[in-house]
Chain A
Amino acid sequence: MAERIPRVPVREQDPKVRAHNFEEVCYGYNLEEAMTEASRCLHCKNPRCVTACPVSIKIPEFIAKVKEGDIAGAAAIIGEDSSLPAVCGRVCPQETQCEGSCVLGVKGESVAIGKLERFVADHTFEGETLSPSGVGCASESEVLRSEATNAASAAASESRAMRGMVDAGPRTEGLGTIPLGGAGGYKGTDNGHKVAIIGSGPAGLACASDLAKWGYDVTIFEALHKAGGVLEYGIPEFRLPKEAVLKREINEVKALGVKIETDVIIGRTVTIDSLMDDEGFEAVFVGTGAGLPKFMGIPGENLNGVFSANEFLTRNNLMKAFREDYLTPIHAGKKCCVVGGGNVAMDAARTALRLGADTSIIYRRTEVELPARKEEVHHAKEEGVDFQMLTNPVEIIGDENGWVKALKCIRMELGEPDESGRRSPVPIPGSEFEIPTETVIMALGTAPNPLIVNTTKGLEATRRGGLVADDEGRTTRPGIFAGGDAVTGAATVILAMGAGRKAARAIDEYLKTK
């Protein structure tokens, strides 16, 4: 019986070893493991996993292909709904989405949907092996590659052919054309319309690749010197390898003919109005994310040794401060306290740990409420990060030179449930104590940057800074669309990607009926 097979464990780097390096923690499944894991799926008639997936990936269908060993077929199915499967398979909070709803999870362990998605994406990509013990052997890749080449049209590049071989190419539905997703597809015939995408995070990349497939002339403008958004500057190498995974996803987008202009800050280097009036862009998608760091407003936050998680992670990931051969400095100290409980806090803590700091997470609620992915919390603990729950900082104490010396905290307890049924933490009077520390990293969430709203006529933002946009991404100004964290505030990669694709459809519709 299928359900009797236990969930196939995934191979990982030894915690003691990986606590000192930046290589990827998880090795992923090989073909055999993936096929075994795929065989656990019940192929439910009303699959709850699909309902729980923000972009409704046809999960049982792709898993069925994996079970048969038809990985390219699985990739094509995922590609219909997701543009970044190698990324999402690694970073989606599966336990609250697909896997959290899987029927097998009711009594036992859910299907490892995320790990299967990742396997499919990694395995399909040009036969490239990711890690020494990782995906597939050379011969499998060889076979797959030759099949792909046969099936593909002569015009398509080999890599694109690999990913889109089953039935790539636009199909028509109503007014707009529906793409077959980012993990495949071809550059459409040039339709002569120019679209500008602002920001190269998951929202911008997804929007750009769909539009390119429909023949639009697409340019992405990115403020930083590398594309990828949070995937590049925020999420560390040990969770999302930059060269092996992110770069190849971005190269796929470029292969569709999308131009990426880095070092262009819209609102400073050039405005949206000037892109539209002087440079001939007929529509604009704003996918600028939610990059502004928050601080607590407690005394001592400007002491030396206090950083936002954004600064700390950007120095390490974008600027590669962890590498000897890169010039950007980073300072984790011997002891580091990270305030917050989300993915950002886990990433900052595990980075500080790898840089040699004895690291604690300071979080004001309990472990159950930690908003981070479960896997990240688990990995952080395995690696030796200390967790101080029900603890809230009240002051950062400095030494005579203005460097952090200690973090003064107060213990919390859960109060009575409020109207929403959530028990919020309240301080226990008199429970203040000090944690001696050299650095403090604030990972308290982020808000959208007001630059675009402030420099573009007719765009409106909510009180919390998000751009006002409808479900399809239409903002308050015709021709300008938005999606991802720039609209919702800090959320997830999959939601940003989904929003980018919806907006692509709305842009297509807008330009066709204009």
Chain B
Amino acid sequence: MFKILKRQMLTPNICKMVVSAPRIAKSALPGQFLIVLANEEGERIPLTISDYDREKGTVTIVTQLIGASSAAIIAKEEGEFFRDVVGPLGNPSAFVKMDEEALKGQRYIFIAGGLGTAPVYPQAKWLHDRGIAVDVIIGARTKDLLIYTEELGSACDNLYLCTDDGSVGFHGVGTACLEDLVNNQGKEYTQAVAIGPMIMMKFATLTCKKLNIPIDVSLNMLMVDGTGMCGACRVTVAGKTRFACVDGPEFNGYDVDFDEAMRRLGQYKAEEAEEKAKYVK
């Protein structure tokens, strides 16, 4: 059992929770994820780690209300428990393993969409703490749906906000903002990282190709075990089948078959709609 120490709604649909999980907090690194099972009857849900505190033995997760299983996670109150929290899963971000010298000259740009903003935070912080140049673009439909603006503000050199409706910051999507930065504001980046909805990562990759910036994307595939045992998380990368949970979750965006990934994500839509109708009224 894993105790929920703090719970905060960031938007009407997005919930941040700090959970006691000492073993995971001790080994977690940026880019890795967890699997949470809210209750005995729940589903094992993969969630990217949004922060960790080795001393306090806590990890932070951010969940968006989508179906019955995420509803079960969000329904938990402070002081209550998750049945299971497993991790850290997957490989840490590529930069974690790079040697310091190679990192020094890099200029990172993160493109975060919606819920994907939260897992960008530990990555940007990790780089920023080491004095590496980091800019972050975060996008949402409207001002009220932007999350982690404060945290990210102090974890990077420049934070760019984008809204589809122009209610704050750049008027338009994150990829358009990136193009603007590079083409009109003389920004140069050596590496991009996109985390967000699959469709956003697909377009971020197309934009980066155009701008000639290498890009890593974090694939939030359907998962069951998260240890390489089931293959539910299969994706095609550079023409080969890979398991996102053990070979990823981050891959070179240029190599990812996004259309297949999007299709596979929708595999249980019919079943999920049925469950949701039962639980989310």
- Interface positions of A (Cβ within 8 A of B): 223-225, 262-265, 268-270, 291-293, 295, 301-302, 304-305, 307-308, 310-311, 314-315, 319-320, 325-331, 401-402, 449, 451
Partner of A329, one of B27, B84, B227, B275: B275
Which of A224, A270, A320 neighbours the largest number of chain B CB atoms within 10 Å of its CB? A224
Partner of A319, one of B27, B43, B83, B236: B43
Beta-carbon nearest neighbor of B230 in chain A: A311
Q: Are A311 and B227 in contact (CB under 8 A)?
A: no
Contacts of B83 in A (CB 8 A): 225
CA distance A293 to B227 in the complex (A): 11
How distant is B265 from chain A, measured CB to nearest CB, in Å?
10
Q: Are B241 and A302 in contact (CB under 8 A)?
A: yes
Q: Are B89 and A293 in contact (CB under 8 A)?
A: no
Contacts of B241 in A (CB 8 A): 295, 301-302
How distant is B266 from chain A, measured CB to nearest CB, in Å?
8
In the complex, whether B267 has a CB less than 8 A from a CB of chain A is: yes
CA distance A223 to B27 in the complex (A): 15
How distant is B35 from chain A, measured CB to nearest CB, in Å?
9
Q: Are B263 and A291 in contact (CB under 8 A)?
A: no
CA distance A368 to B232 in the complex (A): 32
Q: Are A225 and B86 in contact (CB under 8 A)?
A: yes
Contacts of A402 in B (CB 8 A): 260, 263
CA distance A292 to B236 in the complex (A): 18
Count residues of chain B with CB under 8 A from any CB of chain A.
Answer: 42
Bitwise interface map of B from 26 to 55 toward A, beta carbon under 8 Å scored 1, else 0: 110000000001000111100000000000
CA distance A305 to B68 in the complex (A): 22
- Interface positions of B (Cβ within 8 A of A): 23-24, 26-27, 37, 41-44, 68-69, 72, 83-89, 224-225, 227-232, 234-236, 241, 246, 260, 263-264, 266-268, 270-272, 275
Q: Contacts A327-B275, A402-B260 given; indicate if A269 touches B88 (C-beta within 8 A).
A: yes
Contacts of B234 in A (CB 8 A): 302
Contacts of B267 in A (CB 8 A): 304-305, 331
CA distance A270 to B68 in the complex (A): 31
Contacts of A262 in B (CB 8 A): 84
Q: Are A304 and B43 in contact (CB under 8 A)?
A: no
Contacts of B264 in A (CB 8 A): 302, 304
CA distance A326 to B68 in the complex (A): 11
CA distance A319 to B26 in the complex (A): 28
Partner of A327, one of B26, B41, B260, B270: B41
Beta-carbon nearest neighbor of B227 in chain A: A223
Contacts of B26 in A (CB 8 A): 270
CA distance A401 to B267 in the complex (A): 11
How distant is A144 from chain B, measured CB to nearest CB, in Å?
33
Q: Are A328 and B43 in contact (CB under 8 A)?
A: yes
Contacts of A224 in B (CB 8 A): 225
How distant is B163 from chain A, measured CB to nearest CB, in Å?
33
Which of A263, A295, A305, A307 neighbours the largest number of chain B CB atoms within 10 Å of its CB? A263
Q: Are A263 and B72 in contact (CB under 8 A)?
A: no
Q: Contacts A268-B27, A270-B27 given; indicate if A225 touches B84 (C-beta within 8 A).
A: yes
CA distance A331 to B266 in the complex (A): 12
CA distance A188 to B247 in the complex (A): 43
Q: Are A329 and B272 in contact (CB under 8 A)?
A: yes
Contacts of A305 in B (CB 8 A): 267
Q: Are A449 and B227 in contact (CB under 8 A)?
A: yes
Q: Are B230 and A314 in contact (CB under 8 A)?
A: yes
CA distance A319 to B44 in the complex (A): 8
Which of B42, B225, B266 neighbours the largest number of chain A CB atoms within 10 Å of its CB? B225
Contacts of A302 in B (CB 8 A): 234-236, 241, 260, 264
Contacts of B260 in A (CB 8 A): 302, 402
Beta-carbon nearest neighbor of B67 in chain A: A327
Partner of B228, one of A263, A292, A401: A292
Q: Contacts A301-B241, A302-B236, A327-B41 given; indicate if A265 touches B275 (C-beta within 8 A).
A: no
Contacts of A304 in B (CB 8 A): 263-264, 266-267
Q: Are A269 and B87 in contact (CB under 8 A)?
A: yes
Q: Contacts A292-B229, A301-B241, A331-B271 given; indicate if A325 touches B87 (C-beta within 8 A).
A: no
CA distance A330 to B224 in the complex (A): 11
How distant is A35 from chain B, measured CB to nearest CB, in Å?
40
Which of A262, A320, A402 neighbours the largest number of chain B CB atoms within 10 Å of its CB? A402
CA distance A331 to B268 in the complex (A): 8
Contacts of A268 in B (CB 8 A): 27, 87-89, 227
Q: A224-B225, A269-B24, A329-B275 are in contact. List 14 more A-B contacts (CB 8 A).
A: A225-B44, A225-B84, A269-B87, A292-B229, A295-B241, A305-B267, A307-B232, A311-B224, A319-B43, A327-B41, A327-B42, A327-B68, A329-B268, A451-B227
A sample of 24 cross-chain residue pairs with beta-carbon separation below 8 angstroms, ordered by A number, consists of A225-B84, A263-B84, A263-B85, A265-B227, A268-B227, A269-B24, A293-B230, A293-B231, A302-B234, A302-B235, A302-B264, A308-B231, A310-B229, A311-B230, A311-B232, A314-B229, A315-B224, A327-B72, A329-B43, A331-B267, A331-B268, A331-B270, A402-B263, A449-B228
Contacts of A401 in B (CB 8 A): 263
CA distance A325 to B275 in the complex (A): 10
Contacts of B85 in A (CB 8 A): 263
Q: Are A326 and B41 in contact (CB under 8 A)?
A: yes
Q: Are B89 and A291 in contact (CB under 8 A)?
A: no
CA distance A326 to B44 in the complex (A): 11
CA distance A121 to B275 in the complex (A): 40
Contacts of B87 in A (CB 8 A): 265, 268-269
How distant is A452 from chain B, measured CB to nearest CB, in Å?
11
Q: Give the 10 A-B residue pairs with the shortest CB-CB distance, closest first.
A: A329-B271, A311-B230, A291-B229, A329-B268, A225-B84, A308-B231, A402-B263, A327-B43, A263-B86, A328-B43
